[in-house]
Amino acid sequence: MPYNKVPFQTQAPVLSWANHDLGSNEIKMAKNVASLPFVFKHVALMPDVHLGKGALVGSVVATKDAIIPAAVGVDIGCGMCAVQTPFTATQLEGKLKKIRQDIEAEIPTGFNQNKTVDKSVTNWQDWRSFKDLHKGVQDLETKAMRQMGSLGGGNHFIEVCLDTKDQVWLMLHSGSRNIGNKLAQCHINTAKQLAKLADNALPDPDLAYFVKGTPEFAAYWRDLQWAQHYARTNRDVMMERFRRIVEKHLVGGKPTKPLLQVNCHHNYAEQEVHFGEEVYVTRKGAVRARQQDYGIIPGSMGAKSFIVKGKGVADSYCSCSHGAGRLMSRTKAKKAFTLDDLVKQTAGVECRKDPGVLDEIPGAYKPIDEVMANQSDLVEVVATLKQVVCVKG
């Protein structure tokens, strides 16, 4: 659907691809961001937009010569990875539970980490720059090394999926783990301290920012790029393990060649050119969707997901949604649903069905088909997937 211009007056307009009215808190958050003097042209809201911290989740903010660390968020580089395999649904028959058990045994979830460091991690050249990161994370190198190749918690997941042609896909969602979180917190705190010293009249303390040309900006940008690379590599390491697990069960461990691979961030910032000007684009819960860019838009642990190709729509800053988006908070979901609801809503999926994942119940998320309909002008669907195995963080 084409965007709607949100009807309030701010320094920059707000364009929305959501077909629902924003709540009062969402309006306030959108106004706060759009009122900042360095926001470029307009703010774009994706169909899955909902409350975040500082900036709305599902928002794309382009800025001139400044960047807001809290708008990027604390899970720097969080995103998705998907692989289309040469396998078909019939090869999975009778093997789903064993595949799930092996995933849970070989890929750490939650706060867990690897007992030893994977060879692919020690070979990652970016580790040579660890000593150059913010001093607040200098004692985390060992932990960061061991967390490489681990899923994390919350809404992070690993899934075996089938497309409409019964082709097997592998998909996962994760970010920069503890090291990304700590880096973000260090820089957010610095930005807030600078704002206090300068007596900046910010509409929200979480919108404290760095100005290009300052040491603080340079330090944040360096650490941001490092954490984004960490997040992408983390997904690559997990996906390689995931592929080996599936290959073990389906073809006796024989290596296979993927038919398509996609790895994309949805919590990050990059320097890009839009409307003829170089700007810093922060996608907080949004995927880059330039023309021919591949992206991944997941639903929930009981709903469809989509592999998409971007259409390069300028007004969205060449972006699309990063998922269905939460309909209710985790606390509210736990009160609104029962374990029986979880069992019904995840019928046919080999997954946990216990109180620990009740807040991730499909009913806590917006209907993914509605979200996709609202961005038909932003992306085209390449494949529609439905999970048969889901491992939650």
Residues acting as catalytic residues: 322
- What's the rounded Cα separation, in Å, for the pair 225 and 221? 6
Tell me which residue has tokens 């400044």.
Answer: 66
- What's the rounded Cα separation, in Å, for the pair 308 and 322? 11
Contact 289, 351 (CB under 8 A): no
- What's the rounded Cα separation, in Å, for the pair 22 and 108? 38
- In terms of Cβ atoms closer than 10 Å to its own Cβ (0-12, 13-18, 19+), residue 112 is middle
Q: Report which residue type is found at 107.
A: I
Q: What DSSP state is assigned to residue 156?
A: -
Q: Report which residue type is found at 297.
A: I
Q: How far is CA 160 from CA 92, 178, 222, 233, 351, in A?
A: 10, 26, 35, 20, 11
Tell me which residue has tokens 């997901």.
Answer: 305
**198 Cβ contact list (under 8 Å, min separation 6):** none
Q: Which is it for the CA torsion 161, 170, 116, 176, positive or negative?
A: negative
- What's the rounded Cα separation, in Å, for the pair 297 and 244? 24
Among residues 26, 22, 39, 21, which one has the least CA distance to residue 207? 39
Strand residue runs (E) in 225-378: 260-265, 267-274, 277-284, 286-288, 294-297, 304-310, 319-321, 350-351
